[in-house]
Amino acid sequence: MTDSNEFHYPQKFLLKASAGERVACELRMRIISGVIESGTILSENKIAADYAVSRSPIREALKILASENLIRLGRMGVEVIGLTEKEIQEIYDVRLLIETFVFERIIKMDTGKLARELSKILEMMKIAIKYRDADEFALQDVLFHESIIRSIDHSYMLMIWDNLKPVMECLILLSMRLRVKEEYEDFTRVIRNHEIYIEAIESKDRNLMLESLHLNFDDVQVQGTVDDLWMSQQMQAKGAVQKND
């Protein structure tokens, strides 16, 4: 089994994490990157030795990964399941569903404070790219979108986001590390896309938000998904207005 620093979870992300959470983050990253392949049988004793921790944090880590369907706990050991391309697609489907829903709530709010907060995060993203710090960029990118979701104060939508976040964060980290190495120029597009997000939120412009969703998801979504979900949210919004009338 090969390993590399590019497949490790950033330690600066783990300052407040428990020992079990730290192990879970590291194993999650290695499973999603394919360093630990699907079908691999993991040993609690070996993991404990590799990470120099007791069995208790290892059990905590394995329970976390099992809840994310990345591993299967059985009598014969711990089997790695990993992520299929279909499951990765579904993660982006859910993320798109969340963001289309959230925008319909945002346009009914005062968005000035949120736009300023997002602008600050975007400046941090620009600095990260200037210094080719893919990990910091990924951290700020996740924070950018999480700030949008948190702004509508919807507890169940946030719960869905929190459940999705660990796996999605690894996908973003791996993507940004590869992009810095092989497609550095593409960050100009990525930054511009986030600028459009802010412009759409500040102006409450649905056309701008739809443009931004296309820029953000078309390379990972099947054709038509953005428009289909967008129209679905539009219809729900109109239905709610008519019902209230």
Query: Tens of pLDDT along the chain (245 residues)?
Result: 445 567 889 988 888 899 999 999 999 999 999 999 999 999 999 999 999 999 999 999 999 999 999 999 987 789 999 999 899 889 988 998 898 899 989 989 999 999 999 999 999 999 999 999 999 999 999 999 999 999 999 999 999 999 999 999 999 999 999 999 999 999 999 999 999 999 999 999 988 988 888 887 765 544 445 555 445 444 444 454 445 55
For 71, the 3-state DSSP assignment is strand
> Is 67 in the same domain as 178?
no
Domain that holds residue 207: 85-244
> Is 76 in the same domain as 116?
no
Query: For residue 122, what is the enclosing H or E element?
Result: helix 112-130
> Is 70 in the same domain as 112?
no
User: CA-to-CA distance for 33 and 9, rounded, in angstroms?
Assistant: 11
Looking at residue 4, its pLDDT comes to 58
pTM for the complete prediction?
A: 0.85
Are 115 and 198 in contact, with CB atoms under 8 Å apart? yes
CA proximity to 24, closest of 211, 13, 214: 13
* Any domain includes 1: no
Looking at residue 241, its pLDDT comes to 43
User: CA-to-CA distance for 225 and 101, rounded, in angstroms?
Assistant: 14
> Is 67 in the same domain as 90?
no
* Any domain includes 2: no
User: Which of these three, 80, 107, 123, is where a domain ends?
Assistant: 80
Looking at residue 225, its pLDDT comes to 53
> Is 72 in the same domain as 157?
no
Query: For residue 10, what is the enclosing H or E element?
Result: none
CA proximity to 25, closest of 116, 139, 130: 139
Are 205 and 220 in contact, with CB atoms under 8 Å apart? no
* Any domain includes 199: yes
User: Which of these three, 80, 99, 122, is where a domain ends?
Assistant: 80
